[in-house]
Amino acid sequence: MRYLSEYRDADIARSLIARIKARATQRWTLMEVCGGQTHTIVRQGLDELLESAVEMIHGPGCPVCVTPLEQIDKALAIAARPEVIFTSFGDMLRVPGSDCDLQQVRARGGAVRVVYSPLDALALAQQHPDQEVVFFAVGFETTAPANAMAVWRARDLGVKNFSVLVSHVTVPPAITAILEAPDNRVQGFLAAGHVCAVMGWEEYEPLAAKYRVPIIVTGFEPVDILEGIGMAVEQLETGRHEVMNQYVRSVRRQGTPPARALVEQVFELADRQWRGIGEIPMSGLRLRDEFAAYDAERKFGVSDLRVTEPAACRAGDVLTGRIKPPQCAAFGTRCTPERPLGAPMVSTEGACSAYYNLAKYRASDAAEAVS
Amino acid sequence: MTARPAVNAAQLSCPAPVEATDHVQLGHGSGGKLSAQLVAQHFLSQFGNPALAQLGDASVVSVGGAELAISTDSFVVHPLEFPGGNIGSLAVHGTLNDVAMMGARPACLTAGFVLEEGLSLSVLDRVIGEMTRAARAAGVPIVAGDTKVVDRGKADGLYINTTGVGLLDAEFRPSPDRARDGDAILVSGPVARHGMAIMAAREGLAFESAITSDTACLMPLVDALRPLGADVHVLRDPTRGGVASTLNEIAVASSVGVEIDEGALPVPGDVRAACEMLGLDPLYVANEGVMVVFVSGERAAEALRALRSHPLGAEAVRIGHVVAAHPRLVALRTALGGTRVVDLLPGDQLPRIC
């Protein structure tokens, strides 16, 4: 399959790994921003294979991981209402709120359904005119156009029983927040290819220049990621700090203008809480006032809900690369994949969950060697 | 490995319990950790007896000197009919396979039906027709049955429970706790077809070619392996929870490490594409006509030949082996030479956003 199989080719990948190791004169610290990239890195064991040359920090680019507790609690409150059919992407169902998750709401009688597209949720609203259908609009710039489209179309079609609970975040302010942290260790970034497919990369150019870090727009297959890492290492070794595009088969400098325009028409920038990190100014999207009728927070009166994150969870320090998951006191004890305190322990690719499994593997190996 | 801080292994050996919950969740039916917890805490704690405690695909009981394998299974699939079969063929194959995985020769089946008011009789006839065909092909009669009807809305069209009884073979007694260091691990055919066929039908996903369920009776493949006798250590059909969950169960039951090779796992192209589109891992997707075989390493080639001699096993391959290292864990060697742990999922596999 063109554009896919060659990016999974083990021989190409192995030669890229060898080249990166040969080029690195020191161990560089890079952050991949997107959860999809973390997925590939963890599943293929790329961080293990590159360990001598590059330390990969799994960044805050997983929408599941950064959706704040407050928004989860709003989702739980709305989903529990008898008149509501609450729709969501699948992996949000296990994210713990203050006292339960969406799966438990469903077990107690709430109508919670997994959908693959916000337009499916809109169709559900048309099929159930006597109920309120709410879609949990989470994600980065990648999912924003489809979510904007659903709201746009709902207004076009005059569907009144559809609304969205918006928890959108944007990448550049998160990168800025990480780079502004006094103890930042990240020396270069792999930017999320699909975010850039929508947004382009112009907005990353001032970041690369101001903070003197290479930012590589990178795809999601093993060869993409290794190429992206190779490009970042090459820049670091030669003292450069530019935005470069590895993902040329999908991303243009200006992104996809019609998608950007649609997002701009439906959403506006807003301050947004990030789970474990706190509020980052102008880092999120909210519905514009003219679409207020489709805002589930206003419709169900949950806008004022405020909660505090569990103090034991250091997800923010993990997501910003300040600590590795095992350095968190709750890791592996109070916080496990079965009973996560924070989102990075939820999905199998979350940084904490990945470390948990790796640690279990190595611990059992060590135990075996002793016995 | 210097960058990673040392992990206190003692802390990890006793993870916190699965979250307490006061209601049954869908995840309790997923075949993952929640299912295991439900069975252990609510059923075994009260029903507990030596036969039940085996927790194999089927239980072994002695009746008047004869050793029998008994298994029961309920089928609640939606939609009732899907490419490759329907709930009827599934109900027969599923239970026959569970009995066959013990090395037993199935002798008879029973079938119980819960029918929902309003179910089309032509659908019911097609389901019964498939059951009849499947049972006849296997040469196993359905000898007892029961029907109940419930109000509209109280069942998803129809539910079927089947129970199978088989005679154990003294010379051929594979069991999940018999895997040992050096075993080869084989699968009898392409994986993840059933789960994706159901999901595609349920979600109305249209692919260029319909993915068909692999639902099939595994008895002929078991018979093909019978001549290898005691060198066949484990047979399991990786139904709900997929190959990953089955391998985890075997690793725990036998206290061995399992290592599989990602590149060797046979996943058909259309199934792989559907999995990627939905963000699912084929290792955790259900199968209904595939079995996992642990056979002593020296006889692996012979076992593969035996499986491939039957059309159902034509695509049988070796996917890994048993190791002494990392007991009770399943490790996967990636195409690039990296390693990752293939854990039991806490509950249902959830489609990923990114």
User: Is the same domain home to A21 and A55?
Assistant: yes
Same domain, A34 and A154: yes
Using CB atoms, pick whichever of A34, A43, A103 lies closest to residue B354: A34
**Residue A357: which domain range?**
315-370
pLDDT for position A303? 85
> Within the 242-281 window of chain A, which residues sit less than 8 Å (CB to CB) from chain B?
none
Q: What is the per-residue pLDDT across A300-356, written as a single tens digit (0 to 9) for each? A: 999 888 887 777 888 878 877 788 888 898 998 888 877 778 777 876 667 788 778
Q: Please state the domain extents for chain B.
A: 57-167, 176-341
Which letter does DSSP use for residue A335 in this model?
B
Q: Which residue has the tokens 């049954």?
A: B24
Residues A288 and A333 in one domain: no
Contact between B322 and B330 under an 8 Å Cβ cutoff? The reply is: no
Query: Looking at the structure, do residues A254 and A210 belong to the same domain, yes or no?
Result: yes
Give the per-residue pLDDT at A361: 65
Question: Is the minimum CB–CB distance between A344 and chain B shorter than 8 Å?
Answer: no
pLDDT reported for residue B32: 74
Q: How far is A275 from chain B (nearest CA, A)?
A: 17
Is residue A114 domain-shared with residue A235, that is, in the same domain?
Answer: yes
**Closest among A318, A141, A285, A321 to A217, alpha carbons compared:** A141
Q: Is residue B40 less than 8 Å (CB to CB) from chain A?
A: no
- CB contact under 8 Å between A46 and B24, yes or no, is no
**Same domain for A184 and A42:** yes
Q: What is the mean pLDDT of residues B177-195?
A: 97
- pLDDT at residue A349 in the model: 62
Residue A43 tokens, joined? 């599943």
* A22 has a pLDDT exceeding 80: yes
Hey, are the CB atoms on B341 and A42 less than 8 Å from each other? no
* Exposure letters A8-20 (e unless 16+ CB within 10 A, then b): bbbebbeebbebb
CATH ID of B57-167, from 3.40.630.10, 1.10.287.540, 3.30.1330.10, 3.20.20.80: 3.30.1330.10
Structure tokens of A39?
């997925």
The overall average pLDDT reported for chain A is: 90
Q: How many residues does chain B have?
A: 354
Q: Does the beta carbon of A185 lie under 8 angstroms from any beta carbon of chain B?
A: no
Distance CA A37, CA A220 (A): 5
B337 in contact with chain A, both atoms CB, cutoff 8 A: yes
User: A84-98, A239-253, B147-161: which has the minimum mean pLDDT?
Assistant: A84-98
- Residue in B closest to A47 by C-alpha: B338
- A64/B334 Cβ within 8 A: no
CA distance A58 to A35: 8
The three-state secondary structure class of B327 is coil
CATH of B176-341, one of 3.90.650.10, 1.20.120.160, 3.40.50.300, 1.10.1040.10: 3.90.650.10
User: Which whole number is the average pLDDT over B306-332?
Assistant: 96
Average pLDDT of the segment spanning B52-71: 89
Residue B320, helix vs strand vs coil: strand
Position with higher pLDDT, A98 vs A354: A98
**Comparing A315 with A256, which gets the higher pLDDT?**
A256
Residues B328 and A368: their CA atoms lie apart, in Å, by 11
A136 CB within 8 Å of a chain B CB: no
* Residue A61 tokens, joined: 């680019």
**Omega within 30 of 0 (cis) for the link into B79:** yes
